[in-house]
Amino acid sequence: MITLLKDQVSVGGVDLDNHLILAAGVLGTTGASLSRMRRQGAGGVVTKSIGPVPKEGHAGPCLIPLAGGLINAMGLPNPSRNFVPELETLSGEPVVVSIFGGTPAEFGEVASWFEGIAAGFELNLSCPHAEGYGAAIGSNPAMVRACTEEVAAFGRPTWVKLTPNVTDIGSIGRAAEEGGATALVAINTVRAMRISIDLRRPVLGNRFGGISGPMIFPIALRCVYDLYEACSIPIIGCGGVSSAADTIEMMMAGASAVQIGSAVYDDSSVFKTIADELYSPDGVPAAEIVGCAHA
């Protein structure tokens, strides 16, 4: 398989140690956990999404492993502003703070708490199971643009994470780009549910949730491909990436880097595992393959 030359990586204004980033919502609840993912090979990390007020999240079950993926409806649990001290020990590290809000002003308020701490921001405009947040906003181009503008005004790298649960992801990507996003992250989870046939009821406490992991990789790949056609800012591929081959495939679709989340379920050192296979001294520069499948 083709390998990459290990070189300096900078995506959307954030300098990374490699192309493999910890995705939001996975082992990103505490500074210690984020540090552990860095030690285990993540080139950068994205925090659990932080909102304007503390939230406990949905009643359980919140996450169920399936054959080929994870279904979850966590419900955006987060300590809000009390997350700031969690990042004290990560100063200078490539830590991107994921934020959510119900209005552009709320996005701006949360971003202001982390202005001097975060290497960048990632707007969660894509959580599929939190009423009034996430995808409820992220499927409306005007709201996407307004929220992005509010956060981009801090002058820090601003990534926007998109939902696949829309008809035309390209139009949402363009709205984020027009709002000042420095990179797009595609995708968040795909709307999904499971029912316990014995109990005749949805198995998630929230009834519905989103699915991640290998079973959504082809969906994510298609979204990245579409965004590469529609937009001109860098794209970070996210959704089911669990191997070096997946990483290469995402890059060929147009991703400048990838985020990895669910794959930590099978291997908490997945970043190192992938990096060992992805890079070699005689590899090609990443720029040579990013978007090459569009030729």
Of these, 7, 10, 82, 276, which contacts another protein (CB under 8 A)?
Answer: 82
Contact residue for another protein among 19, 55, 129, 174 (CB under 8 A): 55
DSSP assignments along 8-37, one per residue: -EEETTEEESSSEEEPTTSS-SSHHHHHHH
The DSSP line for 168-226 is -HHHHHHHHHHTT-SEEEE--PEEE--EETTTTEESSTTS-EEEESGGGHHHHHHHHHH
Minimum distance from residue 44 beta carbon to another protein (Å): 16
Among 62-70, 143-151, 178-186, 219-227, the segment contacting another protein (CB under 8 A): 62-70
Given candidates 262, 270, 273, 278, which one binds another protein under the rule CB under 8 A? 262
Reduced to 3 states (helix: H, G, I; strand: E, B; else coil), residue 66 is strand
**9, 16, 26, 183: which one binds another protein (CB under 8 A):** 26
Is there binding between residue 78 and another protein (CB under 8 A)?
yes
**Contacting range for another protein; rule: CB under 8 A; set: 127-135, 147-155, 160-168, 198-206:** 198-206
- 6/194 with CB nearer another protein: 194
Q: Quote the least distance from Cβ 16 to another protein, whole Å.
A: 20
DSSP state of 167: S
Q: How far is CA 182 from the centre of its chain?
A: 14
Residue 26 or 119: the one with the smaller Cβ distance to another protein is 26
List C-alpha distances in Å: 114 to 8, 110, 209, 213, 256: 25, 7, 28, 29, 25
Q: What is the Cα–Cα distance from 173 to 179, expressed in whole angstroms?
A: 10
Q: Rounded distance, CA 56 to CA 77, Å? A: 5
Binding window for another protein (CB under 8 A); candidates: 6-14, 146-154, 200-208, 226-234: 200-208
Active site residue 127: yes
- Would you give the DSSP letter of residue 100? -
- Report the residue number, 13 or 57, with the smaller CB distance to another protein: 57
- Three-state SS for 260? strand
Catalytic residue among 127, 147, 223, 238: 127
Binding to another protein by residue 239, rule CB under 8 A?
no
Name the residues annotated as catalytic.
127
Residue numbers of the site for another protein (CB under 8 A)?
Answer: 25-37, 48, 54-57, 59-70, 72, 74, 77-80, 82-83, 194, 196, 198-199, 201, 203, 205, 213-214, 261-262, 264-266, 268
